[in-house]
Amino acid sequence: MTTDEINRAIGELYGWQADYCGDLNAMHEAEKVLTTFDEWDIYCVHLGDTQPSCAKATARQRAEAFLRTLGKWEPVVKHPFTTDGDHLGDVNKMVGEVQP
């Protein structure tokens, strides 16, 4: 997810407006919704599985882990080149132009 997508996703969850990826104070406020040991445990696992990594995480790392903990993370999906006919025709045309 991009920085804007992350900020928007966290903001939409709770109606907040902040720069979660760039502001540790904003992430500290967001972290307050994690109220159970299990939520914090999962959150720290997403930050790197150790307590020191939790303490040293950047705002961006915390924002990503926060969304992962809440099941709201949307990974960036890069669509592979397909051969569904639309792209295949373009490739055949390009190959034909290059080869005699």
**pLDDT reported for residue 13:** 84
**Confidence check: pLDDT of 32 > 90:** yes
CA 15/CA 57 separation, integer angstroms = 24
Instruction: Summarize pLDDT for 2-31 with one digit per residue, the tens.
Output: 899 898 999 888 887 889 999 999 999 999
**Confidence check: pLDDT of 83 > 70:** no
CA 36/CA 29 separation, integer angstroms = 16
**Confidence check: pLDDT of 85 > 70:** no
pTM: 0.66
Say if CB 58 and CB 23 are below 8 A apart.
Answer: no
